[in-house]
Amino acid sequence: MADEEVAEEEEVAPIIDDTEILIGTTTEKPLAPPKYEVRPGLGEKFQSQNVREIILEAMQSQLTGRQYRADQAAHWSKVIANAVRQKVCELDMKRYKIMAQSTIIEMKGAGVKCAQRCIWDPETDTYVDDIFKNESLFCYTIVYGVYMY
């Protein structure tokens, strides 16, 4: 009997459903589903012509009137690549990863062969390249624009 009395005295607290409280008092709108931009908008595509002009301007300003010097070629190449990348980034092409590469070699009649590979989406990713040459040097600069999904 003592056990029955103890059992009768305990009161069970009512279970409150949290979802009812939240729904009844919440005034905020539900969040919209996230947007995943898989393609650039109409006015947000890579601006190839503007990038080509930037490449030419940077190479001409750095190399016009210069003769090839092995000790300075690496520095010139870095200056060109950094200037091109900075000016292309100022074009504010949203969601594009910009990479610039510049190569300077001496004009001695020897050939150069090179290849590049990467994962590429031909609908959104692109590149622009141009060359500058004079009687003693050859400069090849390339800018990649890779759309970040």
Q: What is the pLDDT of residues 14-32, one digit of tens each?
A: 555 555 555 555 567 888 8
Residue 95 clears pLDDT 70, i.e. is over it: yes
| Domains, the chain, with CATH or none | 44-107+117-147 (3.30.1140.40)
What pLDDT is attached to residue 91? 95
Nearest to 106 by CA among 134, 136, 81, 144: 136
Q: Give the mean model confidence (pLDDT) for residues 100-125.
A: 91
- Percent of the chain residues past pLDDT 90, beyond the cut: 60
CA distance 104 to 36: 40
Band the pLDDT of 37: cuts 50, 70, 90: confident
Residue 88 clears pLDDT 90, i.e. is over it: yes
Q: 7, 53 in Cβ contact below 8 A?
A: no
Q: For residues 87-124, b (16+ Cβ closer than 10 Å) or e, as one string?
A: bbeeeebeebebebbbbbeeeeeeeeeeeeeeeeeeeb
Q: Give the mean model confidence (pLDDT) for residues 33-60.
A: 90
Q: Mean pLDDT across the chain, nearest whole number?
A: 86
CA distance 126 to 142: 11
**CA 71 to each of CA 10, 45, 97, 107: distance values in angstroms, whole numbers, following the listed order:** 91, 39, 31, 15
